[in-house]
Amino acid sequence: MPKPLRVFVEVVDRFNRIIGRIVMFMVFVMIAVLLYSSVSKTFHLPAIWTLEMAQFLMVAYFLLGGAYSMQLDAHVRMDLFYSRWSPRTRAIVDSVTVLLLIFYLVLLLYGGLSSTWYAIEYRETSYSSWSPLMAPIKIIMCIGIFMMLLQALATLVKDVARARGESLE
């Protein structure tokens, strides 16, 4: 593989690894928010923001950690035939499926950017009683999708290299 592709894969992998390991700790923030919600309800002072904040944190956790999960190959795979195939066949099939994923992520990013611009332009808020601005979570959503798109491109480069009998790892 050409050196620029190797550098691209290394940079994307390193960046997503760092972000993924930081985002892993967001689960503790979610626990703290939900614990606060439970305690406040016990004393009849329920906070109106806790459930929606926990949902926003979960969205950020899921989207920002998706690229790291893909990098580790830790996503769910239905393995009926895959384990019986040769490494080259696996790499070819993975390349095709990653191309489909890239197509999907490009469409998802396009829609996410459109929704984010709308949220910023019209100061869109949630329909809940807390009514937070939606732009921050939509910006995080677009960043997470973009990171996943970069990781999918890096995975495609790795799969093509494996299909050619090379290794980038």
Contacts of 32 (CB under 8 A, 6+ apart): none
Can you give the pLDDT at residue 76?
76
Report the distance separating Cα 99 and Cα 104, nearest Å. Answer: 9
Residue 125 contacts by C-beta under 8 Å, 6 or more apart in sequence? 131, 132, 133, 134
The per-residue pLDDT for 63 is: 95
Q: What is the rounded distance in angstroms from the CA atom of residue 98 to the CA atom of residue 9?
A: 15
Tell me: pLDDT of 15 over 80.
Answer: yes
Domain boundaries, the chain: 3-75+85-163
CB 149 within 8 A of CB 102: yes
What tens digit of pLDDT does each residue of 59-85 get? 999 999 999 999 998 877 778 888 899
Q: How far apart are CA 65 and CA 27, in angstroms?
A: 11
Residue 65: predicted pLDDT: 95
Give me the chain's average pLDDT, please. Answer: 94
